[in-house]
Amino acid sequence: MTLDSKDSYVFEPAPRAAVPVVGGGLFPVRRVFCIARNYAAHAREMGGDPSREAPFFFTKPADAILPIKTGEVGEFPYPQASQDVHHELELVVALGAGGVDLSPEEAAKCIWGYAVGLDMTRRDLQAEAKAKGRPWDIAKAFDASAPISPIVPAAGEVLRAGEIRLDVNGALRQRGDLADMIWSIPEIIAFFSRYYCLQPGDLIFTGTPEGVGPVAIGDRLHGAVGGVGAFDLTVVPR
């Protein structure tokens, strides 16, 4: 719906969520989609069956984004109402174009850039929601639940391989390769376009490799994806 230009807000709206771009500028965030269990080993560690399971997903609000600037150490505030918060390192795809019912070939042309992100999860609340057959929103869509590095422009490249790795306090926690993804990046974008009219500004978190685990206040996280970038993050009290 488009509002009449004569209408005015009853209070000042919040600033638009945005992510810094490598080389300058800001990428305005519209929506955040997250594909689940897109690495076979992680699907198995979460009790799924990668040989038969069709894609499924969840979303986060745009203001769940926690941008981490180049050269800085981000701060992730440990969320309230949880005693078991887990890290899930992911490649993030930023869309510069969109559409409906895209083919994988058309979907590939929508890629604007890439970033390194974390899908932070209140695992105890997720387990409770699963047990009761409820949605995962309370576990996935909380404040600052999507830390993200600056976006690097794709320059027409479709990533199909590259190391994805997370260290916590200097020790390896997660390690995989983008080539291990069950669904490729163009296939993921095409999948979402069957259910939404994708638009410029949409972000897609593409799944996490095995090794997800808990974080604690004071932990230092270093995440990286080969050919994309890296970030450093500290878990702090709220």
Which tens digits make up the pLDDT trace of 60-99?
999 999 999 999 999 999 999 999 999 999 999 999 999 9
Region 213-229: what's the mean pLDDT? 98
- Torsion angle in degrees (nearest 10) through CA of 172, 203, 143, 22: 70
Report pLDDT digits (tens) over 103-130: 999 999 999 999 999 999 999 999 999 9
Is 229 a residue whose pLDDT tops 60? yes
Distances (CA, A) of 127 to 122, 142, 170: 9, 16, 28
25: nearest Cα among 130, 150, 111:
150
CA distance 29 to 95: 10
Q: Are 54 and 215 in contact (CB under 8 A)?
A: no
Q: How far apart are CA 219 and CA 221, in angstroms?
A: 6
Percent of the chain with pLDDT over 70: 92
For residues 204 and 16, give the distance between their C-alpha atoms in angstroms, rounded to a whole number.
18
pLDDT tens, position by position, 144-155: 999 999 999 999
Structure-block tokens of residue 234: 């500290």
> What per-residue confidence (pLDDT) applies to 52?
55
**Residue 184 dihedral angles phi and psi, to the nearest 5°:** -70, 165
What is the pLDDT confidence band of residue 57, given thresholds at 50, 70 and 90? very high
User: Do the beta carbons of residue 115 and residue 19 sit within 8 Å?
Assistant: yes
Q: How far from chain centre, in Å, is Cα 170?
A: 23
Q: What is the pLDDT of residues 138-190, one digit of tens each?
A: 999 999 999 999 999 999 999 999 999 999 999 999 999 999 999 999 999 99
Q: What is the pTM of this model?
A: 0.94
